[in-house]
Structure 1
Amino acid sequence: MSAPAAVVTGCPAHAGRLDPADPALHTDDGRQAHAVWRELRRHRPVDRRTTESGRDYWSLTKYRDCDRVLRDHTAFTSERGNLLRMLGTEDPAGGRQMAVTDPPRHARMREPLQRALSMKSVDAHRERIRGTVTRLVEPLADGGVFDFGRAMTLLPMAVTGVLMGIPEADWESLTGFTSACVAPDDPQLMLADGPVATLETAHRELFAYFQDLAHEREKNPGDDLLSFLLTLDLGGRTMSPGEIMSNCYSLLLGANVTTGHVASSVLATQTDTGVFEDWAAHPELTVRGTEEALRWSSPAGHFLRYATRDVRLRGTRIREGDALVTWLNSANFDEDVFTDPFTFDIRRRPNRHITFGAGAHFCVGHTVAKVTLRLLFAELLSRFESFEISGTPRRLYSAFVHGYTHLPITARVRARRGPVGY
C-alpha cells in the first residue's frame, strides 16, 4: 500500500515559461516548481535558457539525461564550476576542490576521504550522532510550538562538527555562513550591502575560519577529518593550504545546506497524509523510508556542467563549451523512471534517485547523511505522534538549495515508546 498522494497537483499552461532558476519559484510547498518541471519534461526536456545577465545554458529535466551528464566526465566537465550562479565565470577552485575536479585527479582526492567516511567509520560515531539528534528534538516533547526547521538547520552542523573536530561554540555561526553561501538573496541572510557582499563575506569568514583551525590542528592533530586532510597522501604530496581550505569548505557546505532540509520537507508535506503512522508501525522500513525522503525532498536542486565536445541529447546538438544544468528535483520525479512519483511511498523499490548526484561526483558524505537521517526518523517516530503544522512555514530563498528555514510544529508524545528501526 502506497502513501497518500502528495500535495503537488495541476500543471498550468504557462508553467514552461517560468524560470526554474528564479529563487522565487521555490518559496512555496513545491507546487509551482513541480508544475514547471513537469511541463518541461513533457515538452522541452532539453531546453535553451537565458539568464537575466544574458548567459545561455541548456536546462535538462529528464532523469536519464541528468544521469548521463553527471556520470560522463569526459564529455561534461565540472571544473569550470558546478552551480548555476557560477555560469559564465571560471571557478577558482577548479582542479583543487574535489567537487570541481574531474577524474583521474578527483579519484586521488576522493578515495582516502571516502574510506574515512565509510559506514564502518561513521558507525564509530553512531551513538554520538544519535545523542545529537535526541538533544535537538527533545524540546518537541514539551507540547508547545517547536521550530523544526530551525532545529534541522542546526542538525548537520552538529554532526559534521563532531566529525571535523569543530568546537561546538562555533557551530551556529558556521551554519549561518554556509546558508548565506547558497542563499545570499534570502532576506533573513542578506547583508545590508546586498547579495554579492553577503556571498563574499560568507566565503571570507569560512576560509579564514578553516585557515585558523588548520594551523591549530597542525600543532595538535587529532582523529578528526581536518587532521586527516592535513596528512592526506596525494601521490607523494600533501594538500596545499589552499586545497585544505577549499575542501573543508566543500565538505561543510555539502552537509550543512542539504541534510536537514530532507526531514523538514517531509514533515511539511506529510503531516496529514497517514505516512508517519504507517512508518511508525513498520520501523523495519526506515532504510527505504529514508531513501524516499531523499528523493522527495531533493534539497540540492541542480548541478552545472560544461560540454567538452559536441554531443547530442535527445537529438539536440550541444556544442563544445555549452553549459548544461541538471535539475535533480525534476529528475527525481520523472514519470518514466518512478511509478506514481508524486506519492510519498516508504515501500518504494527500486528507488534510484539522484539526490546525491551520480558518477564520480556522487556525494562523498552520503553515508553520514543517510545514517543521520535514519537515526532522526527512527527517534522521531518512536517518540512522537500526530505531528501538526502550527504556524507559517518559511522556505529558503534559493534556486540551488530547496528547504525550510522555519517550520513551526507541535506533536504528541507517545504514551508508550514505539520500536526503533535504524
Structure 2
Amino acid sequence: MQQPRRADEQAAPGCPVGAAARGLADPLLYAGLDFRFREKWKDLRNLDRLEWEQVDERNGFWSVVKYHDADRVLRDAHTFTSERGTLLNILGVEDPAGGRQIAATDPPRHTVMRARLQKALAIKSIEAQRDLIRDLVLEVISPLADGGPFDFAQAMLALPVAVGGESMGLPRADWPMLGHLLNASIAAEDPEYRVPGGAQATLDRAHRELFAYFQDIYRERRRNLGDDLISILITTEVDGRTMSPGEVMSNCYSVLLGAVVTTPHSPNHMMAEHIGDGLLDRWAADLSVTPTAVEEGLRLGSPVSHFMRYAVHDTEVRGTEIKAGQAVVTWLGAANRDPEVFPDAETFDLRRKPNKHVAFGIGPHYCVGHTVARVTLRILFDELLSRFTAFEPAGEPIRLHSNFISGYKHLPITAKTV
C-alpha cells in the first residue's frame, strides 16, 4: 500500500485549513493572482498515483485531479459517501447535515429528496422566468453605463442572490444581508468576512444567522404556501413524512448557497482573465457562440474548487490504495483542465464541443440548479456584450481567500455603451 505522505509543514491542530497549512487545503493558495494552485494541479495530474496531503496531526486527504478519476469518485456513492462531509472546512468532523441535506445525503434517499426540487428547476420552468431573470440582470449591470469604475465582482455576487431570492420568495430587502452571510460561510478565512475569533467563529456566526433567518421564513411560509422553492421543500415527503423544519432550513441554505457559488465566478473569471485580450470582442461579434462560450467559461473558471467524499470501504483509485474512512477530495478545476480529455486544455475556445466539464459536479449530486445558472449566464453575457464594449480594468482584482470557491470578490472595470 502507498502510505499517506505528510506535507512539509502542518497546520496547527484543530485548524485544518488555517493559513499555516501547506498545499491545496490552504485558502491563501487561492488568493493570489499568480494562480499557484493551477501549477499544483498540473504537477499532481502528471503523477501516476494519488497524493496524500496531511493537514494536521489527525487529518489528511487524498487529492483526485484527473478527470476520469473525479468522474468515478463523484458517481460512485456506494464507495464514496457524501454523508460525512463534502467540504474541507469540516475535514475530520462528522457533518451534522448528513442524511438531512440534499447535498450531504446519498442515494436512494437523496434521489427522493431531490426529485420535486429538480422538477421545479427544470428547463421549462426556468425558461418561463427568462423575462424576470433578464430584468434582474439589467438591474445589476446598468450602473456600468455611467462610465465610471464599476465593481463587476460585487455585481456578480449580487446576481444569484437576486435570482435565487425571487425563486424562493425572499424579501428583496434581505438580499444584501443574505449575500454577505453566504459568502462568509464559504470564505471564512477571507479578511473581508472574518469576524473576531477567527475562521471557525465566522463560519459559526454565518450559519447561526442564516438558519435563524430561514427559521422565520419557514414559519411564515408554512402558513402561506405557494409555488416557490421553499414551499416545495416544505411539502416534499421523504420516508413517508414531510421534511422536518430543520431539514427544510438546511436545504434552503444549501439551495441558495449553490446559486451563490456557481453563478457569479464564471463571469468574474472571464472579465478578470480575458479583459483586453480580444476574447470578449470576438464573442460580442458573434453572440450565437454564447451557449458554448458559457460552458467554456464554466470549465476554465470552475467556480467550485472541490468536493470531498469519504471511502466507505477499502478501494483503489489510480493505483493508490485508499482505506475505509479516509477522505478523498476531487479538485474540479484540475479535472476540467485535464489535457487527456480537453485538447488545448488551457485555451479558451468559444466554440468548444464536446465540453463535458465537471464545473457543476457529476453523478447523483450534479448541481440541481445547473439549468437556472446556465440560463442566467447566457442572458447575462448576451445583455452585457450587446450593450457594452471597450471593457478596461479600473483597479487591481482581488481574489477570495477560499479553498472551496475559486473566484474574485472585487473586480473594478469600466466600459462604454454600444
TM-score, normalised by the number of residues in structure 1: 0.92
Q: Is the 8 A contact 2:390 2:415 kept in 1?
A: yes
The alignment partner of 2:155 has SS state of: helix
Gaps of 5+ in 1: 1-13, 415-422
2:402 paired with 1:368: no
CA contact (8 A) 1:310 1:319 kept: yes
1:228 Cα deviation (Å)? 1.3
Superposition map of 1:244-259 within 5 A: 244-259=248-263
Structure 1 residues 54 and 320, CA gap change in structure 2 (3 angstroms): closer
Which residue in the other structure is 1:160 paired with?
164
* Alignment partner, residue 96 of structure 2: 92
2:5 is matched with: none
Q: Report the alpha carbon displacement of residue 193 of structure 1 after superposing the two structures with TM.
A: 2.2
Q: Provide the rounded CA distance (Å) in 2 between the counterparts of 1:27 and 1:400.
A: 12
* Matching residue of 2:59: 55
In structure 2, what is the equivalent of residue 220 of structure 1? 224
2:187 maps to 1:189: no
**Alpha-carbon distance between aligned partners in 1 of 2:22 and 2:369, rounded to the nearest angstrom:** 33
Deviating more after overlay: 226-235 vs 324-333:
226-235
Counterpart residue identity of residue 40, structure 2? V
* Partner Cα separation in structure 2 for residue 267 and residue 24 of structure 1: 22
> Quick one: distance in 2 between partners of 1:313 and 1:285?
37
Q: 1:331 aligns with which of 320, 332, 335?
A: 335
SS of alignment partner, residue 330 of structure 2 = strand
Query: Any conservation in 1 of the 2:48–2:319 contact (CA below 8 Å)?
Result: no
Query: Taking every aligned residue pair, what percent have the same amino acid on both sides?
Result: 53
Matched ranges for 1:377-388 at <5 A: 377-388=381-392
Q: Which residue of 1 aligns with 2:310?
A: 306
CA RMSD of aligned residues (A): 1.4
Deviates more, 1:215-224 or 1:130-139: 215-224
Residue by residue, what CA displacement relative to the aligned partner does 1:238-287 show, whole Å, maximum 9, x if unpaired?
Answer: 11111101100111111113311111111000112211111111111111
Q: 2:150 maps to what in 1?
A: 146
> What is the CA distance between 1:45 and its match in structure 2?
4.8
Cα distance in 1 for partners of 2:248, 2:309 equals 24
Write the distance in 2 (CA, Å) between the matches of 1:18 and 1:61.
17
Return the offset for 1:235. 4.8
Distance in 1 (alpha carbons) for counterparts of 2:410 and 2:318? 40
1:112: Cα distance to partner? Answer: 1.0
Does 2:134 align with 1:107? no
1:290 matched to 2:294? The reply is yes
Q: Residues 126, 45 of structure 1: CA spacing in aligned structure 2 closer, same or farther, 3 A cutoff? A: farther
- Check 1:293–1:402 CA distance in 2 against 1; reply closer, same or farther (3 A cut): same
- The alignment of Structure 1 onto Structure 2 pairs a total of residues equal to 399
Kindly tell me: are residues 163 and 275 of structure 1, through their superposed partners in 2, closer, same or farther at Cα, counting changes over 3 Å? same
Q: Does structure 1 residue 413 correspond to structure 2 residue 417?
A: yes
Query: Is it true that 1:207 corresponds to 2:211 in the alignment?
Result: yes
The answer (yes or no) to whether the contact 2:48–2:318 under 8 Å persists in 1 is no
Distance 1:45 1:85, change over 3 A: farther
Q: How much has 1:302 moved relative to structure 2?
A: 0.2
CA shift digits 1:57-102 (9 cap, x unpaired): 1111111111110000011100000001111111011011000000
Equivalent residue for 2:353? 349
Of 79, 82, 91, which aligns to 1:78? 82
User: Any idea what the Cα deviations from partners look like across 1:361-391, whole Å, max 9, x if unmatched?
Assistant: 0000100110110010110111111211110
> 1:400 pairs with 377, 382, 404, which one?
404
Q: Provide Cα deviations, 1:294-341, integer angstroms capped at 9, x if missing partner.
A: 101111100000111111112111111111000001010011111111
